Amino acid sequence: MTQHPWTPDGGERAAPPVGDPESESDEGIRFRDKRKVDPDTYEVREESATVEAPITEESDPDQPEAGNERVDELTLDLQRLSAEFANYRRRVDRDRELNRDRAVGEVVGDLMPVLDDIERARSHGELDGGFKAVADAVEAVAAKFGLARFGATGEAFDPHVHEAMTSDVDAQVSEPTVTAVYQVGFRLKEQVLRPARVAVSNPE
């Protein structure tokens, strides 16, 4: 027979019934059960009781694996956004440079006839005095923007930068060669604004 502790008055203390809201569990964890009806006896409780219940694995708030997966997803999203922004910056910089070159090309394109006149005056010995100072200033501005002349006798003919006005055959050349320049060409950086008009000699 199971022995129960004695009460101070000599009586025997009754063991708490199974399911008593005041009983203790092995885990020693307690929570407040506010149900008005006892789930075991179906009797109305006079006041809320404290009932112990173990915390199961399903109620464990610590889920490191799920947290790591979320961190990996956010990291990938951040890397993707960073790459997209870098590509956007490169496109903007490239477009800005192209627009700048286009605008400069339009401006210096208007200078090409003036530069032609300056070169003709220089070749005839007429570039002196105050006109020479003005000519030098105009050529300095054109060079500052990257405008450069090209086209000279003796260089290999290149249809991408030369426009052949006349051609003949010459046994002394081993490849199509520029033998005369009728009008120099102009380029802005790598862009050809005007091809050089030349005479070409071809090998036999």
Per-residue confidence (pLDDT) for residue 28, from 0 to 100:
53
Per-residue confidence (pLDDT) for residue 203, from 0 to 100:
93
Q: How far apart are the two ends of the chain, measured CA to CA in Å?
A: 130
Per-residue confidence (pLDDT) for residue 18, from 0 to 100:
47
Read off the amino acid at residue 49: A
CA 139, 140, 146, 152 torsion-angle sign: positive
- Contact at 8 Å (CB) between 7 and 14? no
Q: What is the value of pTM for the model shown?
A: 0.52
**DSSP class of 142:** H
DSSP letters spanning 20-73: -TT---TT---EEE--SB-TTT-PBPSS-EEE--PPPGGG----HHHHHHHHHH
State how far the Cα of 167 lies from the Cα of 190, in Å rounded to an integer. Answer: 27
- Contact at 8 Å (CB) between 30 and 20? no
Task: Going from the first residue of the chain to its last (204 residues), give the mean pLDDT of each consecutive group of 10, the final group possibly shorter.
Answer: 47 48 51 68 61 49 70 87 88 84 80 90 86 90 89 94 95 94 91 93 92
Per-residue confidence (pLDDT) for residue 61, from 0 to 100:
54
